[in-house]
Structure 1
Amino acid sequence: MGKNEGRATYSLDEFNLVLAGRFDSLSKQLKKIARFILDNPIDTALDTAAEIATRLEVQPSSLIRFAQALDFEGFSEIQKIFRANLVQQLPGYSANYSDRIRELKEGAAEGKSDAPPILDVFLEANSDALTNLKTEVTAKQLETAINTIKSANNIYLLGQRRSYPVASFLYYMMRNLDLRAFLLDGVGGNLAEQVRLIGEGDVLLVATFPNYADEVIGVAQQARDKGAKIIAMTDKLVSPIVKLSDTYFLTDKVTVSGFRTITGTMCLAQALAIGLGMDGNQLTRD
């Protein structure tokens, strides 16, 4: 009998909850495996265990230990969950997607003239990110976030590096809605001084993705300690910002050769901003 026969039939969401609950107790190497499979769900579903182990520079037995740490018999059971999700949630996916990414890498290295155009690969990746967003974000989550923002005394927006455009866009939109929004941009090294303004009754909207900037997590912790609400946009349940958040959204899990799209996050930011100004009115497409 398996360690937990029910786990083999878990949905991806149920698996993610199990992983999030066990993540802190995993060894450094097993955490590395966990981050890989969450960042690369397509490859996890389609690659062999040996191929994944090679990419991670670990022994195949490490994948088995990872699975057993989550009460699965073997890594193949975890892969079945990812394959099932691929079919049920994202029917547009196929092995061809993963193959095209590999062809892109190989074609660039070998100078093949028939390598897929890089624009096509990123168009497909961004399309997949938007499809993911549709399945991950619920109307209730959006409503909760919008109501939290509306009831806040002040709204602080934070995003560093590639997440900065998200915070900047939200700041622009909210200021145009005459909301008390403040962009924590840290210009001149003044981030710590800007954070001192955050207090009880305020809300911090933060976007952060791997490698999760330490200063961003630090600001979120300070804001929470001061009694502010935290709304986060990040990529997975094991993100360090999730534990600090009152409301969180999981977006933009898709990467291409290490480049992460922010298409889903920007779409979410747009929905939040426009939702703040709708006052319950229905939005129609022109």
Structure 2
Amino acid sequence: MSFCNQIKKRFIRLSRGQRKVAQFTIDNPNVIATHIASDVGKLIGVSESTVIRFCYAMELSGFSELQEKIKADLMGQDDKIEQSHPLLPKKNVNLLNEVMNRDVASILNTINIINEEQFERAIKVMHESECLYVLGLRQSLPSANFLTCTLSNYRREVKLIQPNAENIVQQISNMEENSMLFVIALDDNAEDVLTITKMAKNKKVKVIALTHSCISSLRGNADVLFTVGAQKSALAETITAAHSLIHALVEGMVAQNKKQYTNFQKVNAQFDNNSLYLEKTLSI
């Protein structure tokens, strides 16, 4: 049995902090194998002592032995000649159950690695910022559209940064200190996203980033960074987890002042109804 499978068998018996370390180890074995315990703790959002306590809970002598176990697992994976595509179901497996269970697993993994203090900080920033900008390029653009539309149901001053150089530069120049930039970067190509994020930080804008990798280059440039999905998840599963977290963040923002956001919804709905009535009247 691989060591990661041993972790899964003991998962339920671990403390909450140790579960975060366990899930991270399962999803990011290469990071465990190549980083020291203190760095791993920072990436996960737990203390170094929690990482060590996880090792003891797994009946290991310490972090070095954990690295040895994980390296052995990785060498065993290299010996496998054939790997099935994650989106191709095995024979006699119900496709509906297979796909939706992977989505559930991606969401559950995200729950386990989310830092609650970071979550609370993010929703506070979203609530207090006067203007919210949303950035998502390429495969992240649909998720950026989803966040923009969801936020627009509850508040004014929500702007999706359009993916062309002229609009990006113009909108970044319009940002003020009381603005916030929400960056969604779910693909591997983050060079341009990083450049835009640095431009926003130079304007002293708060940045919340949502990525698929805990070692994303955005980490040092975001006030809050969330990792969604798992290392080996297909993009579709990662997007599902991202949208679930987005939903939770918006709900958290609304909970900061439910009356304020509910009133905006009512006024906005009334405005839409009046506009629709006017359009019908003019067409007669």
What TM-score, normalized to structure 1?
0.60
**2:243 aligned with 1:243, yes or no?**
no
- For 1:135 and 1:268, the matched residues in 2 are separated by 12
Select between 196-205 and 237-246 the one with higher mean Cα deviation: 196-205
> How far 1:212 sits from its partner (Å)?
3.4
* Aligned residue number for residue 69 of structure 2: 77
What pairs up with 1:242-281 in 2 under 5 angstroms?
Answer: 242-256=219-233, 261-279=238-256
> Shift of residue 246 of structure 1?
0.7
Unaligned runs of 5+ in 2: 1-16, 38-63, 75-79, 259-284
Provide the secondary structure at the position in 2 that maps to 1:262: helix
Letter in structure 2 aligned against 1:140:
E
Bigger Cα Rg: 2
Could you report, residue by residue, the CA deviation over 1:237-285 in whole angstroms, capped at 9, with x for unpaired residues?
A: 310111101111111225456765211110111111122222366xxxx
CA distance 1:13–1:133, shift in 2 (3 Å): closer
Residue of structure 1 aligned with 2:192, choices 207, 215, 223: 215
Distance 1:117 1:175, change over 3 A: same
Alpha-carbon distance in structure 2 between the residues aligned to 1:167 and 1:13: 27
* 1:126 partnered with 2:103: yes
Q: Deviations over 1:128-170 (max 9, x none)?
A: 1111122122443222111111221211101112222222122
Which residue is 1:199 aligned to? 176
Partner of 1:234: 211
Q: State whether residues 206 and 231 of structure 1, in contact with CA within 8 Å, keep that contact through their aligned partners in structure 2.
A: yes
Once residues 130 and 186 of structure 1 are traced to their aligned partners in structure 2, the CA distance between those partners, rounded to angstroms, is 28
Structure 2 residue identity aligned to 1:175: S
1:4 alignment counterpart: none
- Please list the CA deviations of residues 78-124 of structure 1 after superposition, one character each: whole Å capped at 9, or x if unmatched: 35899xxxxxxxxxxxxxxxx9x94557978xxx8x26455443322
The equivalent of 1:156 in structure 2 is 133
Judged with a 3 Å threshold, the aligned counterparts in structure 2 of structure 1 residues 227 and 81 are, in CA distance, closer, same or farther, namely: farther
> Per the alignment, do residues 147 and 15 of structure 1 end up closer, same or farther by CA in structure 2, a change over 3 Å counting?
same
1:170 and 2:162 correspond: no
Q: Size of the alignment, in residue pairs? A: 210
Give 1:49's aligned residue.
none
In 1, the alpha carbon distance for the partners of 2:150 and 2:95 equals 32
Alpha-carbon offset, residue 14 of structure 1: 6.0
1:129 maps to a residue whose letter is: S
1:140 aligns with 2:117: yes
Q: Could you report, residue by residue, the CA deviation over 1:42-97 in whole angstroms, capped at 9, with x for unpaired residues?
A: 595xxxxxxxxxxxxxxxxxx8xx94774847853335899xxxxxxxxxxxxxxx
Structure 1, unmatched stretches of 5+, are: 1-9, 17-37, 45-62, 83-98, 282-286
Instruction: State the TM-score, normalizing by the size of structure 2.
Output: 0.60
Higher helix proportion? 2
What is aligned with 1:50?
A: none
